[in-house]
Structures are given as C-alpha cells and as structure tokens.
Amino acid sequence: MEKKNSVFIETYGCQMNLADTEVVLGILRENGYTVAPSLQEADVVLMNTCSIRENAEERIYGRLGNMKTLKQSKPGLVVGVLGCMAERLRKDLMEEKKVVDLVVGPDEYRRIPEFIGLAIAGEKGIGVKLSKTETYDDIIPYREDGLSAYISVMRGCDKFCTFCVVPFTRGRERSRSLSSIVAEVRLLSERGFREVTLLGQNVNSYLDGEYDFADLLAAVAEVDRKIRVRFTTSHPQDMSEKLLYTIAAHQNLCKYIHLPVQSGSNRILDLMNRTYTVEHYLDLMEKARRIIPGVSFSTDIISGFPGETWEDHLATLDVMNKVRYDGAYMFKYSPREGTKAFRMVDDVAEEVKSKRLQEIISQQQRISAEINETLVGKLEVLLIEGASRKSEDFLAGRTDSNKIVIIPRKDEIGEGDYVEVKIKKGTSATLFGDFVKMVDKRITPVRSEAV
Ligand code: 5AD
Ligand code: SF4
C-alpha cells in the first residue's frame, strides 16, 4: 500500500488549541509522519476544533463541507476532527458526517497514529476518553523557528462557570511538572525565541508538588532574561498576592494581566458561578496596581446571559469604566448543551444581546483610544517582530501590554531586538513611535502616569 504520511492540521479556537496542535505534530513526527506544507499536499487533514460558542462549531461544520468536496477529488484522503468538538459531538460527527474518519478528544492525542492507521485500513478511529493525568509532559512539541511560542502548563478546568463547556470537553485540572516546562523554555531560548506565553484555562490553579504558579513564573523568567514571559488565563478568585509580587519582581514578566470579569453585576456573576463579587474584583485590581506600577489589564465579557436586565448591563459598562481595560474580548452569550446555564431560560432577545454587545464594544474602543492617547510622549520597550504589514520602510513591535507600535526602519534594528521608543501618535488600534535606543536586557518601561 502507498505510504500516507504527510499531515496538515487546521487549528481553530483558543491559544490552547494552537499549543495542542504542536503537541500533536510532535507525536506524529515521532511516529514517522511529516508536516505537509499545505492542505492540498496532505494525505491526512486534521481539524483541531473549538466548542466555546455555537458560531465556532457552525464554522467548522461549514469547513467539513469543503473537506467532503476535497475528498471527492482526492479519494483516500484521511480527515479527522480533534479538540473540543470531537469530545462534545463524537457520535454526531462519526455517524452523520461521513467525511470524518477519525475523532480524537484532547486527552487521547497519543493514539492518533493508531487511529490514522485504522482510517487508512478503512475503519473509523475514535478516542474521546478524558484523563485525570494526561499532560503530554514528555512530548516535545513541533514548532517552526520563530520569536514567540505558546506553552501549555496545565490542562482542563474545575471551575464550572455555568455558561462554559470547557470542563466537559477538556476534563479536570492537572498541571505539568515545573522542571519539564523550564526545560522547554531552555530549548526555546537556545533556538532564539524571545517570548513565551504560558497557557492554562485557569493558570492560577497550577500546582506541581509544592510549586504554585508564582513559583513557575519566577522559574521561567530566570531561564533567559531576554525572553519575555506572558501568561493566560487568570481567574479573579485565585489570583494571589504572591503572584502579583512575583510579576513585579521580574523585569521580563509582562506587566499585563488578562483577568476575565464576564459581567459587572453581582447577581449575574452568582448565576454564572464565578465565585467572586465585583467589589472583590475591583479590590484585586487596585492591589495589582499598587504592587505592579504601570500594570495593564484585559478582560472577557459576556453580554446577554440568561436573566440579564438593563441594570445588569449598565453595571457591566460601569465596571469597564472603572477598570479602563487596555483590551477586551467581548461575546454574546451562546447556550451550550450540558452546561448549567443551558437549563436556564435564554430570555434576552437576540436583538437586545446584539445591541448590548455593540454598546460594550463601542465603549471599549473609546477607552482603548483614550489610553493610547495618554501614551503619547511616553517611553515604551518593544520587542521587534519584523516589517510592518503596510510597508517595508517601517518595523512593527509589541509592548508589554501587547500593543503594536510602528517605528521607522533602522539598519541596526533586527527581528527579536528590544528597543526603547517614544510614542508620538496613537489610534484605538495602533501606536506610532520614534526610536530612542537599543535595549540590551529587558527594562520595564515606566507607565505609571498612563494609568
Ligand atoms: N457564550 C459566550 N461566551 C462564552 N465564553 C465561554 N463560554 C461562553 C458562552 N457559552 C467566553 C468567556 C470566556 C471566554 C474564553 O469565552 O468570556 O472567558
Ligand atoms: Fe470555562 Fe470558567 Fe473554566 Fe474559564 S474558568 S474555562 S470560563 S469554566
């Protein structure tokens, strides 16, 4: 039989899926597979999918239609579904969607080579068991060379927010070992990477023996001072003071915290099972600003949760005004089967959800533009990522707070360099700056006046 060994993976959804795709490619390469340069050239196409909202799933169903067409022109092509949809819709995918040859959930990726083998032999491969222990700790993810890498440090979620499908698709929380994460960062440092983002659904619950997430961050920060360290996602209930002091103490830990608030109303937060109040959340932010001068925040917000009144919506707008986030990911509530909220009445009309979401988005755009304006005249340190998208005469880099800044190109500045710039103009999306000096080691910019 002809050997079918080139694989292409399409990744949808969150950063965790991007990290998982690299783990899957690591496993497949260990088993003699190669990475195909494009979908058209692949013998095996895998889709790493997301179930977080209905529109994410609809998009993937649409894409499966394209795969059917591709399969007609290329008989023998193996098509697989990985990730959260595989876990949630295994039966539907296998029985209804004839195009799918294998369905593999997030904890069974080690068995993918076996399932591909089955598919080639004309059988269906299915693996959707969740595990209490699988962390893929020993797998070396396959990564192209680059500046920035995602590293998954824990899997699963035990929070059970009532709207969220993740505890059902990704199972219980478990952490990787600190030593394997540090070893991975060391390898990335040797390859010239300049940024790592530590990932988990709820990184504050990280635990490896006596080491907590603050210990992990400190250990990662010490590997290479030229590597800038980000992390996501934090939960307001578990964010410790120790973690805040750790962020403050290390120059290369980004002074930037993604801390989803979800809603500004205590009544809705309770219905969401978020386990904190707005007052606790605002206190935490104040504490963070005191301990980490110049820290900035981003958030997630859901609009139109069951029972959300106009007053609840105003409370969300109010909390945004109080915090003044640098950025926000804003969503319309989407009922997910199996969650607790699915059994609540989805009583906010679609037009009302859309209108509220639009108000939230407009308010955030205004706040982002105002924050960016306050940065004019200030110094920022950028990690240069390369030419700007619009012109080779300009370079683009990112600040600690993940903002893109465009500066005129200079011969001495290369990709992966840290430079200090003075901001001269800001819009809601982009900042423009002038080169000030090269920065040998990371220096934390002073932004306290900007807050
Ligand atoms: N509907 C809308 N948004 C959701 N999120 C999670 N579940 C849902 C849902 N059912 C959002 C939350 C979470 C982010 C990753 O996705 O804001 O923080
Ligand atoms: Fe979902 Fe809540 Fe867990 Fe985040 S913390 S993954 S929103 S259940």
Structure tokens at 150: 């995602």
Pocket flag, ligand 2, residue 235 (CB < 6 Å): yes
pLDDT range class, residue 445, cuts 50, 70, 90: very low
In tens, the pLDDT along 322-356 reads: 999 999 999 999 999 999 999 999 999 999 999 99
How far apart, in Å, do the first and last CA atoms of the chain sit? 65
Residue carrying structure tokens 């969740």: 130
CA 257 to chain centre: 13
Pocket flag, ligand 2, residue 201 (CB < 6 Å): yes
How far is Cα 171 from Cα 62, in angstroms, rounded to an integer? 27
Atom number, ligand 1, closest to the C-alpha of residue 262: 17
Pocket test for ligand 2, best of 88, 154, 159 (most atoms within 8 A of CB): 159
The superfamily (CATH) of domain 148-373 is tm_1862 like domain (3.80.30.20)
Q: Which of 70-79, 211-220, 349-358 has the lowest mean pLDDT?
A: 70-79
3-class DSSP assignment, residue 277: coil
CB 355 within 8 A of CB 348: no
Radius of gyration of the chain (CA): 23
* Ranges of H-type helices in 260-349: 266-271, 278-291, 310-323
Q: In what order do the strands lie in the sheet with 148-152?
A: 148-152, 195-199, 228-232
How far is Cα 232 from Cα 203, in angstroms, rounded to an integer? 7
**Domain 379-438 indexed as CATH 1.20.950.20:** no
Pocket test for ligand 1, best of 302, 305, 339, 344 (most atoms within 8 A of CB): 302
Domain boundaries, the chain: 6-127, 148-373, 379-438
Helices (H) and strands (E) in the chain, counts: 13, 21
Structure tokens at 167: 């505890």
Q: Which ligand is nearest to the CA of 274?
A: 2
Question: Of the candidates 279, 231, 234, which has an alpha carbon nearest to the alpha carbon of residue 253?
Answer: 231
pLDDT range class, residue 449, cuts 50, 70, 90: very low
pTM above 0.85, yes or no: yes
Pocket flag, ligand 2, residue 125 (CB < 6 Å): no
Residue nearest to ligand 1 atom 18, measured at CA = 300
In tens, the pLDDT along 2-57 reads: 567 999 999 999 999 999 999 999 999 999 999 999 999 999 999 999 999 999 99
How far is Cα 395 from Cα 34, in angstroms, rounded to an integer? 34
Say which CATH class 6-127 falls into: alpha beta
Residue 446 has pLDDT above 50, yes or no: no
Pocket flag, ligand 2, residue 258 (CB < 6 Å): no
Pocket flag, ligand 1, residue 50 (CB < 6 Å): no
